[in-house]
């Protein structure tokens, strides 16, 4: 679901307020990065975001992209994930409900899922252990159907089939 004008306006307002509150400059580059993120539908790496912005002929430095990602993460407009690789991946978070991830250990494909039983377990464990659970992260790792299929095909060709 692509971000609509109302969503873009809302995240710009939140970001603007955050920058003002922290005495930081409101630059066109920071807002261009924010808009690019909210026009995406994927989990993305900083370098991919940088390249996509440069390909749109927007003059922005790598440092600005990385610094802006940190700011957007700090004000909860994006979430940063480590899905078992060395590179962090990000996703937009404003207006998106809590969800969890299944990650292919071979190709890195990320699939989101939402199951109410996860929330029930979170509530149950919080109560049992006297914790106020503020957030959670559940990442399941395995092999997607494409990678399993490629693995079987490779195995068959190695066996002369």
Q: Are residues 24 and 43 in the same domain?
A: yes
pLDDT tens for each residue of 57-93: 888 999 999 999 999 999 989 989 887 677 788 989 8
Q: Are residues 116 and 82 in the same domain?
A: no
Domain boundaries, position 9:
1-96
Tokens matching residue 115: 């199951």
CATH value at residue 121: 3.30.1490.190
Is pTM, for the whole model, over 0.85?
Answer: no
Q: Which residue has the tokens 């994930």?
A: 81
Which residue has better confidence, 2 or 133?
133
Q: Residue-wise over 94-122: b if at least 16 C-beta within 10 A, else e?
A: beeeeeebebbeeebbbeeeeeeeeeeeb
pLDDT for residue 75 = 94
Q: Tally the domains of the chain.
A: 2
Range from 59-68, 101-110, 131-140, 148-157 carrying the lowest mean pLDDT: 148-157
Q: How far is residue 63 from each of residues 16, 46, 48, 131, 152, measured CA to CA in Å? A: 20, 10, 14, 38, 42
Q: Are residues 138 and 161 in the same domain?
A: yes
In angstroms and rounded to an integer, the radius of gyration of the C-alpha atoms of the chain is 19
CATH value at residue 37: 1.10.10.10
């Amino acid at each position: 679901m692509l971000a609509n004008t109302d969503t873009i306006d809302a995240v710009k307002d939140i970001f603007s307020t955050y920058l003002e509150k922290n005495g930081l400059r409101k630059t066109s580059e920071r807002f261009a990065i924010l808009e690019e993120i909210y026009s995406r539908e994927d989990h993305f790496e900083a370098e991919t975001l940088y390249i996509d912005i440069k390909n749109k002929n927007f003059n922005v430095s790598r440092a600005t992209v990385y610094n802006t990602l940190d700011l957007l993460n700090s004000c909860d407009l994006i979430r940063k994930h480590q899905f078992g690789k060395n590179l962090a991946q990000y996703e937009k978070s404003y207006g998106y409900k809590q969800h969890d991830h299944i990650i292919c250990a071979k190709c890195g494909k990320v699939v989101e899922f939402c199951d109410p039983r996860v929330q029930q377990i979170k509530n149950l464990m919080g109560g049992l252990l006297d914790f106020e659970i503020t957030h959670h992260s559940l990442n399941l790792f395995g092999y997607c159907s494409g990678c399993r299929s490629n693995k079987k095909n490779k195995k068959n060709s190695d066996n002369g089939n």
